[in-house]
Amino acid sequence: MKNIIITGSSSGFGLKASKDFADQGNNVFATMRNPDGKNAEKKAELEAYSDHINVVDMDVTSDESVTAAIDTILAEAGNIDVLINNAGIMYIGITEAYSVDQARFQMETNYFGAIRTMQAVLPVMRKAGSGLIINTSSLVGRISPPFFSTYTATKHALEAYSQGLRYELSPFGVDVVLVEPGPFGTGLLASGKVPDHGDVLESYGELAGVPAAMSEEFDQMLQSEDAPDPQWVVDAYLKLAELPTGKRPTRTVVGLTWGVDEINEKTQPIQDNALKEMQLDSVLGGTSA
């Protein structure tokens, strides 16, 4: 039995993962914003599903909220075995038309939010000499297609942070891994916002309508019978949690790959060799699978 924190548990992968980890008899702390307000129905659904699920109010964009939530969880559980950073938002549109504030808001959730939760649990994990952090990235954390740039930047940042942190934590028996889903029907598209700079949007002419058309095509594909099943991502979480420490792959691509699996296969040896060139491999436990 493990103590597991899952962020973004009100929908998508987080909601499914909370139920599946509870089914295995684990203690699940399903975190979300406004569980007694906007997400009251999701809280009721999860708590009715299993006695092993505890819904916790946590806003990953707030230092105070994260600290209070993790303190509450630790007071009850004593230790944390697995943290799954799943909370996220995604904007698709003309990149230049998104304001700095809009880009910053995505960064606060997708990148800084993950840092907040990791820093809150890592002292306990390091002291215990064990632990697993699963950071949910994306295919676009490794590639940069048009119209995704403000979102893509957050995932590239998360990838870089996680890779370096993985090396640093390996001597403490703590694993950091990335799951890179392709497109899935989880409602993430619905989190998007119209760009703030309408004048810039207008200046792009017909091209300005392409992102919306693309999103509509994605939505139709993800609702079809042949759509990738979000359960595949949850299964990846479950498998990673069961693997032995030090044997978990750095990155796991799930669903459509868009060549990202090939990128990972080719670049990880280069990444690890850089560690050797810096003469840090013996200090930080060698290479990263």
Active site residue 167: no
Active-site residue identified among 151, 161, 167, 237: 151
Quick count: other Cβ atoms within 10 Å of Cβ 237?
Answer: 27
Residues 195, 208: Cα–Cα separation, whole Å: 11
Residues 204, 225: Cα–Cα separation, whole Å: 35
> In this structure, what is the dihedral angle of CA atoms 269, 274, 278, 284, given to the nearest 10 degrees?
-50
Looking up tokens 């806003």 gives 59
Structure tokens at 168: 């640093």
- Does residue 26 contact residue 78 with C-beta atoms inside 8 Å? no
- Does residue 132 contact residue 83 with C-beta atoms inside 8 Å? yes
Q: What is the 3-state secondary structure (H, E, C) of 7-63?
A: CCCCCHHHHHHHHHHHHCCCEEEEEECCCCCCCHHHHHHHHHHCCCEEEEECCCCCH
Which helix (H) or strand (E) segment is 253 a member of?
Answer: strand 251-254
Residues 140, 148: Cα–Cα separation, whole Å: 8
**Catalytic positions:** 151
